[in-house]
Amino acid sequence: MNNINREEIHLISKHSNWSEISVRNTLKEAVYNNSESWRNFLKTLFITLGIGFTVAGIIFFFAYNWHDLHKFIKIGMIEGLVIITTLLVLFSKISLQTKNILLTGASILVGVLFAVFGQIYQTGANAYDFFWGWTMAITLWVFISNFAPLWMLFLLLINTSFILYTEQVVMGWSEVLVSLIIVLMNSSFLIVALLIPHYFKEHQIPSWFSKVIAIAIVFFGTMGVTIGLFDTLDKTFGLLVVVVGVLFGNGIYYGLKIKSGFYLSIIPFGLIFIFSGFLIKISSDASMFFIVSLFVIGSVTFVIKNLIDLHKKWSNE
């Protein structure tokens, strides 16, 4: 019963004679957080904050004492911390959650190590090389740990590496094309993240993970289309519009299907931004800016009102 979620409970109660008391008790056991859940959350939070502040302290230590430290000490201390952290993950008897948090901290230290190495020896490498090397160095840890925050760091590094690659290596790609590739790439990650829990029940992906990816897709899709409106010569603009339209449409359908206001809020706001850019493309005089202001106020009010109505409807079903 602990693997059942809110949507499944809602579906079962709707098509059965499941009593209200039993539904309420099941929600308390399987969905709502109890005192034990809060204790585990606070434990994880404090461990995460401790490791995060430790890593931040290490970074600030090197930044403040940079000129007074020998290069052997600079590299050796970070390598030692990475080794010690990895050994704790491999051989200690601490909980799996704590090990994953430590491994995430070690992954960040790998980036610090690469940065210090490049600063000491002035390798002359592009920022793209730094982030791509960092990504490759922690790939094995990411797949072995299967830890959502570490996966998020991994995806962030992939996106950063690609953006810097287009700026420092190819340099001929338009912003519309870059946005298209980023949207397609992150959409693939999002689809996998949404499908895994359906086919592999033992792998439950936190909802915040897929939501962060969805925000990135909406952001880059919205910015890409808006930029393309003012750059009509870009040949990839039409393809980007089609891709964004399909993704936004499926996102709204998915939000209605799972009764989630999240997708029904970020996508309309993206569409409002795009249409506002379209209006400014038509005319950029003062009267058009006034019309755009009225449009934004009216459309945002319309979206919020509909979200409230949908929430009430879903709550009463």
pLDDT at position 223 is 94
pLDDT digits (tens, 9 = 90+) for 275-302: 999 998 888 788 888 999 999 999 999 9
Q: Does pLDDT of 79 surpass 70?
A: yes
Question: Looking at residues 218-223, what average pLDDT do you find?
Answer: 95
Q: Is the pTM of this model over 0.85?
A: no
Report the phi/psi class of residue 91: left, alpha or beta, with left for phi > 0 and alpha for psi in -120 to 50: alpha
Q: Does pLDDT of 181 surpass 90?
A: yes
Question: Looking at residues 12-28, what average pLDDT do you find?
Answer: 66
User: In residues, how long is the chain?
Assistant: 317
Domain ranges of the chain: 173-317
The mean of the pLDDT values for the chain is: 83
Q: With bands split at pLDDT 50, 70 and 90, how would you rate the model's confidence at 179?
A: very high
Q: With bands split at pLDDT 50, 70 and 90, how would you rate the model's confidence at 31?
A: low
Q: Using alpha carbons only, how large is the chain's radius of gyration in Å?
A: 24
Q: SS3 for 238-251, per residue?
A: HHHHHHHHHHHHHH
pLDDT digits (tens, 9 = 90+) for 83-99: 988 998 888 888 888 88
